Structure 1
Amino acid sequence: MIFPKFISILIYRKSFRIAISSQEIPMNRFRPNLVIDTDQPFIEDQWKTILIGEVYFDLVKPCSRCIVTTTDQNIGERNPLKEPLKTLATFRQQPGGIMFGMNIIPRNTGTIHVGDSVEVVETY
């Protein structure tokens, strides 16, 4: 896998779902490159460096989410209520936007595989 300068990593836990009117918002709305399964919501906010497989990643800044998250990826229609952004804004609004996920930079080349564990190397 070749990574661009920045990639978005979405820290996602199975027990945490953004439910809008009993409708689950699919993960593909956030277009993650890497998905990590964890029981701790937004734990990535505390991480500075992680190791996945052979690759060290620096978590450099939160990912500001755009209007694309309101678009159903299967039919191309936007949610008229602007969900999930509207709900995310109630608890993830920060200077610079509505944050969900992290932008990361790989420090080195190497291989990662589905199912690799994530080692937190450094925290803030």
Structure 2
Amino acid sequence: MSQKEDVCQYRLMIARDTLEVIQGKWRLPIIISLTHGNKRFGEIQRDISDISPKMLSQELKALETNKIIIRTLHDSMPVTVEYSLTSLGLTMKKLLDEILDWGVLFRKEILEK
């Protein structure tokens, strides 16, 4: 294999890793919701009105496993749980901005014609 092919294979592997973390209908909306600050489960669900509680719970667990978000339990009565982006999750801001900018372009070029 040439060095060029090695670089290509490496870049494809990185792209697959990235897509594994952000894939699906709900993960990016959850991450975008949390870019606006720490939120409780119900607040995230209000932001993403068409997600079921079961799906939101599953996706939050997956994002927590991948160290994109952190789940914090607050010792109060009743106990409250808050979700926030980790330092790794916060590094996604530039990526999210690029995705949203491209989405605006896509919407203008394809969906609004």
TM-score by length of 1: 0.27
Higher relative contact order (CA 8 A, sep 6+): 1
The answer to which structure has the higher strand fraction is 1
The answer to which structure has the higher helix fraction is 2
